[in-house]
Amino acid sequence: MTEATIIDGKAIAARVTDKIAAQTENYIREAGAPPCLAVVLVGEDPASAVYVRNKGRTAEKVGFKSIQHTLSIDTPESDLIALINKLNGDPAVNGILVQLPLPAHIDATRIIELIAPEKDVDGFHPINVGRLGAGDFIKALIPCTPAGCVILAKSALGDNLSGLHTVIIGRSNIVGKPAAQLFLAENCTVTIAHSKTRDIEDVVHRADIVVAAVGRAEMVKGAWIKPGATVIDVGINRIAAPEKGEGKTRLVGDVDFASAAAVAGYITPVPGGVGPMTIALLMANTYYAACRQNGVSHLIIA
């Protein structure tokens, strides 16, 4: 049996960031300054710190100005609110990202809703969620991970996904729900599966495209996958890896890669699949936000 073709998220993301870098040069000529992304990190969660560093490095690589605000884990919610209000009011800041998760004493929903919608480069603000649901892709800032899933699927199957059955495992506001909207916009037939779905294996087995975004390590087995299907694995889970030494760990997705790769047509790896696309499309959203705020005409990057 032929192994699935690996979808190289790093290479596809690099093509996106190359386009952004080229367009940023045009933007700077017209606007007089580079797009500016402000990232806020509360606490010192190691995974979050890595994500924030990667976002900052990529922003600088494409020619953006990158600002990082690192706050202690016991920062009062009122201090975070004051910082966001300051960034909202700063015309030099085009994009604001508050790294999730936040400490338990801070209301994440309140913080997300406080970010100015036009600077909400994560695409989580209710106004951007509503615009996405209404199909207004001109004004909406679209969540980066779901948008990356669509691009990765198209890289394997071509630009026309019309009529394909997409099963999304997971119904989060960050990935599952917006992914459903985006695949609907591509004229797919979309099913959202979740923890209460009956006979979930059979539901997934009918899919031409599987988007696994449930947050459970290696939950989706190869037997669930229809032969030849395209598998997009959003999960990032750290599990014990005793074969690497005592106390060592490794990253895996929500899909059991080995068994799924034996039957799928295309599959994303973890790491190196969806993750790089999320960061690349964060840059795209920052570019779009800057253009809209400053009346600069822009090209669609991805």
Catalytic residue among 19, 99, 177, 181: 99
DSSP letter string over 80-146? HHHHHHHHHT-TT--EEEEPSSPPTTS-HHHHHHHS-GGGBTT--SHHHHHHHHTT-TTTPPPPHHH
Cis amide bond preceding 143, omega within 30: no
The SS3 of residue 253 is: coil
Instruction: Give the active site residue among 19, 23, 119, 122.
Output: 122
Q: Element (H or E) spanning 262, and its range?
A: none
What is the CA 66 to chain-centroid distance, rounded? Answer: 19
CA distance 163 to 161: 6
Active site residue 18: no
The letter for the amino acid at 30 is: E
Q: Which DSSP symbol is given to 7?
A: P
Radius of gyration, CA atoms only, the chain: 19
Closest CA to 232 of 159, 156, 160, 158: 156
Q: Outline where DSSP puts E strands in 123-228.
A: 165-169, 189-193, 209-212
Gap between the Cα atoms of 5 and 156, Å rounded:
9
Closest CA to 201 of 235, 233, 225: 225
DSSP percent split of the chain into helix, strand, coil, nearest 5? 45, 15, 40
68 is an active site residue:
no
Catalytic-residue membership of 65: no
Query: d(Cα 98, Cα 68) in Å, to the nearest integer?
Result: 10
Q: Does an H or E element contain 12, and which?
A: helix 9-31
Catalytic residues: 55, 99, 122
